[in-house]
Structure 1
Amino acid sequence: MKKRKIDVAVISDVHLGTYGCHADEILIYLNSIDPKILILNGDIVDVWQFSKRYFPSSHMKVLKKIIGMASKGVQVYYITGNHDEMLRKFSGTIMGNVQIVDKLVLDLDGKKAWFFHGDVFDASITNAKWLAKLGGKGYDLLILINRALNWGLTKMGKEKYSLSKRIKNSVKGAVKYISNFEETAINLAIEKGYDYVACGHIHQPKKELKENKHGRCVYLNSGDWVENLTALEYSFKRWKLYQYNHDKLSPFFADEEIKNMDMQQLINSITSTNTSTKKDKTEGNATE
């Protein structure tokens, strides 16, 4: 399969080392892209749930793939999250094309993009870590139960069902937390003058333009590779929310206008642009 060339790819919440991780799928995704920059936005390796009894070869292959991409010239930023917080003691470390950071700011075509995992907004992480870890174990068990359920549903020819999404959407506290998380990220980003803010942590993939009385900013969340199997991609000066289950065989388009063009229209648009550029240069030279 021909690799898709993109400027920036962002993945988060892969949770390698847990039963819920879709290592095979993330490996297929990484093999399908050729990014200039790869941002790992936290919780890539789940140190909280780490066990010597469970770290299959497919999980190791993901790490090997990321290292291989870096060795071939891809700039890799590993942004620390709460499940891999032990790496925060190494923040600022640079190993070839791999850099460990707690947050990241990039200039993308003249616009500022702010990347961080997002657990700094989570009071349960900062004030009651033991409770958060207990919740993580319960979530991992729920994912295992959900996989068994979906196996049965698939056998019966029925659609898969997400228990965790149902619980999140039905519990008012969870809905309110997600809403507060997004609002806090947006307000801070606008206050700091960023055009984009990209987080992970809450396993809720999203791309949305938000604004308040002080300005506007595009809120982005890369989702996860446990439930949603999503990533963020930046190319052609546009952000796209990649969804593995829908986009794994689809090309990347800058926008709907290009997507709906046939081959002749694409050729005409390219040649007309080149003609206009040459004309401008000729007129400029004549003026001089």
Structure 2
Amino acid sequence: MTIKRKIELAVISDVHLGTYGCQAKALLTYLNSIAPKTLILNGDIIDAWHFNKRYFPKSHLKVIKKIIDMAANGVKIIYITGNHDEVFRKFDGTEVGNISIVNKIVLELDGKKAWFFHGDVFDFSIQHAKWLAKLGGYGYDLLTVLNRYINWVTHKLGRERFSLSKKIKNSVKSAIKFIKDYEREIAHLAIEQGYDYVVCGHIHQPKMELIETKNGKTMYLNSGDWIENFTALEYQFKRWKIYHYNEDKLAPFSVNEQEDNFDMQDLIAAITIVEQAAKKPKKEKVD
């Protein structure tokens, strides 16, 4: 029996289930390797912008089922909405069993305040030109598909995989400036509000940096994504770390190949179990 890593809190974001770029199998391997008390899904988990009934592979369904199974087994799941899954924002405050949907949340971690949100509210293109952001999203999808074929060739040649969109992003000065402005604005606001940690996603750039100003300091954390970087944030023993799947993955943890016949009916059954658990009366505490 394989022992899973016990951690207090795990944060993932920007999974984009339902798109060609989503690396669902790698994410499932990661989720199978951990036993968190709390799992925070920090936005853009399901990509409603580009949802297509003709493309939602079983590996993507398995990720959803895995998260539901974790909730059924006692893991607290906090789903923070993002721009690509903004259709869920109207359910802010909804709780089903161990799963809650929020637009943002503040948690206390060992006496320190942590502010969690996706981050799209700090993106001008999202707030003022959504059509432009969606157009850019289609271009990004095209790049990830092209990148998949390139990496297939590089793998056959025995070379390391690389991210075409990341390389382009890192070479364009305007993109670099946007990321720096994004990080700075979020950190400054967190300092003004008195938060010790500010945790977001959205820009697909994993990062952990202590930012200080004349008004104070905060730890800026970004969980990255599961398209280019394959990263998550983990909190344990009063410390944060960025988990890099390509560097930190453990060989024993893999996708359960016995679930290859998993389909939508299995997913519906899993959701029903969670709903039934939510309806069960809670036991009264005995003083």
Match of 1:149 in 2: 150
Give the secondary structure class of the aligned counterpart of 1:81. coil
Match of 2:49 in 1: 48
Give the secondary structure class of the aligned counterpart of 2:108. strand
Match of 2:221 in 1: 220
Match of 1:27 in 2: 28
Give the secondary structure class of the aligned counterpart of 1:130. helix
Shift of 1:161: 2.3
Deviating above 4 A after TM superposition, structure 1's stretches of 4 or more consecutive aligned residues are none
Q: Distance in 2 between matches of 1:72 and 1:161?
A: 36
Match of 1:4 in 2: 5
Is 1:181 aligned to 2:213, yes or no?
no
Larger RCO, structures 1/2 (Cα 8 Å, 6+ apart): 2
Q: Distance in 2 between matches of 1:157 and 1:72?
A: 41
Shift of 1:155: 1.1
Give the secondary structure class of the aligned counterpart of 2:225. coil
Match of 2:90 in 1: 89
Unaligned runs of 5+ in 1: 251-288
Q: Distance in 2 between matches of 1:114 and 1:204?
A: 18
Q: Distance in 1 between matches of 2:160 and 2:57?
A: 28
Q: Give the alignment of 1:230-269 within 5 angstroms.
A: 230-249=231-250
Shift of 1:218: 0.6
* AA aligned opposite 1:35: P
Match of 1:254 in 2: none
Please, what TM-score do these two structures have when normalized by structure 2? 0.86
Q: Distance in 1 between matches of 2:101 and 2:192?
A: 26
Structure whose alpha-carbon radius of gyration is higher: 1
Match of 2:135 in 1: 134
Percent of counterpart pairs with the same letter?
A: 69
Please, what TM-score do these two structures have when normalized by structure 1? 0.86
Q: Distance in 1 between matches of 2:41 and 2:8?
A: 14
Shift of 1:98: 0.5
Match of 2:71 in 1: 70
Give the secondary structure class of the aligned counterpart of 2:45. coil
What do residues 175-195 of structure 1 show as CA deviations (whole Å, max 9, x unaligned)? 000000000110011000000
Shift of 1:25: 0.6
Q: Distance in 2 between matches of 1:14 and 1:40?
A: 9
Shift of 1:14: 0.3
Q: Distance in 2 between matches of 1:241 and 1:158?
A: 25
Give the secondary structure class of the aligned counterpart of 2:37. strand
* AA aligned opposite 2:30: Y
* AA aligned opposite 1:121: F
Match of 1:270 in 2: none
Give the secondary structure class of the aligned counterpart of 1:59. helix
Give the secondary structure class of the aligned counterpart of 1:106. strand
Q: Distance in 1 between matches of 2:163 and 2:25?
A: 19
* AA aligned opposite 2:142: L
Give the secondary structure class of the aligned counterpart of 1:70. helix
Give the secondary structure class of the aligned counterpart of 2:202. coil
Query: When the two structures are aligned, how many residues end up with a matched partner?
Result: 250
Give the secondary structure class of the aligned counterpart of 1:31. helix
Unaligned runs of 5+ in 2: 252-287
* AA aligned opposite 2:23: H
Q: Distance in 2 between matches of 1:43 and 1:241?
A: 19
Shift of 1:22: 0.5
Shift of 1:201: 0.1
Match of 1:114 in 2: 115
Q: Distance in 1 between matches of 2:33 and 2:233?
A: 14
